[in-house]
A and B are shown apart, each in its own frame.
Chain A
Amino acid sequence: MSSFEDADTEETVTCLQITVYHPGQLQSGIFQSIRFCSRDKLPSSEVVKFGRNSNICRYTFQDKQVSRVQFSLQLFKQFNSSVLSFEIKNMSKKANLIMDSRELGYLNKMDLPYKCMIRFGEYQFLMEKEDGESLEFFEIQFILSPRSLLQENNWPPHRPIPKYGIYSLSSFQSSSPTEMDENELMNTESLREEM
């Protein structure tokens, strides 16, 4: 108990939650290399690459239509800010990256807002940042969505989303608070079995 009371105060950590969807995710196993729901703690100076090549990328997709390095994320600190910010950079020569309504060509980069939708091909990534105090580390957490994240499913949402817990589109479909149906939530264990 004394070690707990005497220990240095832990800093909260910036967390980027990435909710992913691809229409062929159940049949093709494209996300089989991704560990969903666990939080990966990374040094804040790391350039995080996403793509097909596991020798280069930290997060890989089992899909020949994905570039060897599709895009990268890196942290930086804006002047006069105490929190870390993300920027995304398109590393693909073949496919443009779409961030909300803006298009990024090869080597174009852009600051990531607190919440945005990243798309390339049929891939959809909803990226949501939660600020933290630490400048040394940050976390990335992947969530698998059972359905499309786009406009026909109420994107962008007009209501605030839960700060914690798994992102679920069902929370946006009623005008008053309702109980969340546990069947609506994606069970990643059963999904892995299906894959």
Chain B
Amino acid sequence: MFHLPSPSSMEKPLTVLRVSLYHPTLGPSAFANVPPRLQHDTSPLLLGRGRDTHLQLQLPHLSRRHLSLEPYLEKGSALLAFCLKTLSHKGCVWVNGLTLRYLEQVPLSTVNRVSFSGIQMLLCVEEGTSLEAFVCYFHVSPSPLIYRSEAEETDEWEDVSQEQPPPGSGQQTPGCLGFLHVPSQTWDSPLQPSPGGGTEIQLQREPPDGALY
């Protein structure tokens, strides 16, 4: 399914998806199969437990095909946008405050908080002009990416979630690492957990457990 881009298109910068991953109980071992870098063509990128997925995660609660990231172009735009769709029949995927069930989908923003089957994922989109392929860089976070509030939902949390830029706005937040527990390694170094330290600057309320499975 993966096609190498033609030499002429190699000159155009690729759209980058910077993906941080965290699992509260399994830790980094949950992501042992995840490569540090994954380049993919413009077909939907499949994530799940199955062997036919492009990003395979060996987690028991994960569906064989759990979700897809589909690149596409908005009308009038020359930059790749992404649509996340739930492919799991039994589980659901929480994306930026929305719970997606089977075949439900949502366009991604510049910064996205995604949770499914206990996995927390922070996904940042950095625009590129190539329409042949895009590249994912993966990083394992030693600390949570989505804050789990023990308090009831309040207007304050709703205000926080509304601060995210609208989908397709092209608005780049000033370094998506500013929303993360900042790692000591660079994005290009081999995938390994970073040591502790640093402060989480902005987090979003995690959905109740029932919504994650």
Q: How far is the CB of B53 from chain A (nearest CB, A)?
A: 12
- Answer yes or no: B71 CB below 8 A from chain A CBs: yes
Q: Is the CB of A84 within 8 A of B103?
A: yes
Select A75's contact among B43, B80, B103, beta carbons within 8 Å. B103
Q: How near does chain A come to B90, taking the closest CB pair, in angstroms?
A: 12
B32 at the interface (CB under 8 A from A): no
CB distance from B38 to the nearest CB of A (A): 20
Inter-chain CA distance A107–B71, complex, in Å, is: 8
Contact with B along A41-67 (1 / 0, CB 8 A): 000110100000000000000000000
A45-B65, A47-B44, A107-B42 known; A89-B105 Cβ under 8 A: no
Within 8 A of B (CB), among A69-87: 75-79, 84
- CB distance A76 to B103 under 8 Å? yes
Residue B131 interfacial (CB < 8 Å): yes
CB of B181 closer than 8 Å to a CB of A: no
A135 CB-CB contact with B under 8 Å = yes
| A106 close to chain B: CB less than 8 A | yes
Residue of A nearest to B100 (CB): A79
> A109 near B: Cβ within 8 Å?
yes
Residues of B within 8 A of A132 (CB): none
Closest to B43 in A: A47
Q: Is B179 an interface residue (CB 8 A)?
A: no
Q: Kindly supply a per-residue 1/0 record for chain B positions 26-45, scoring 1 wherever the CB is within 8 Å of any chain A CB and 0 otherwise.
A: 00000000000000001110
Q: With A45-B65, A45-B87, A76-B85 known to touch, is A105 a contact of B73 (CB < 8 Å)? A: yes
Interface of chain B, main secondary structure: loop
Name the B residues within 8 Å of A75 (CB-CB).
103
CA A104 to CA B72, docked complex, whole Å: 11
Type the 1/0 row for B65-78, where 1 means its CB is closer than 8 Å to any CB of A: 10000011111000
Tell me which of A44, A79, A106 contacts B131 (CB under 8 A).
A106
Q: Confirm or deny: B158 has a beta carbon within 8 angstroms of a beta carbon on chain A.
A: no
- Which residues of chain A have C-beta atoms less than 8 A from B103's C-beta? 44-45, 75-77, 84, 135
Asked whether, in the complex, the Cβ of B101 is within 8 Å of the Cβ of A77, the reply is yes
Q: Mark B86-102, 1 if CB is under 8 A from A, else 0.
A: 01010000000000011
- Does A108 sit within 8 A of B, measured CB to CB? yes
Residue from B44, B103, B104, B131 having most chain A Cβ neighbours under 10 A:
B103
Q: Does the CB pair B105–A107 fall under 8 Å?
A: no
Residues of A within 8 A of B101 (CB): 77
- Give chain A interface residues in 149-168, CB to chain B under 8 Å: none
- Residues A135 and B102 in contact, CB atoms below 8 Å apart: yes
Are A77 and B72 in touch, CB under 8 angstroms? no
Query: In the complex, which residues of chain B have a beta carbon less than 8 angstroms from the beta carbon of A77?
Result: 101-104
Which residue of chain B has the shortest Cβ distance to A103 in the bound complex?
B75
Q: Would you give the shortest CB distance from B101 to chain A, in whole angstroms? A: 7
Closest to A135 in B: B102
A-B contact pairs, 10 of them (CB 8 A): A45-B87, A47-B44, A77-B101, A77-B103, A78-B104, A89-B72, A105-B75, A107-B71, A108-B75, A136-B89
In the A-B complex, the 3 residue pairs with the smallest Cβ-Cβ separation, listed nearest first, are A107-B73, A77-B103, A107-B72
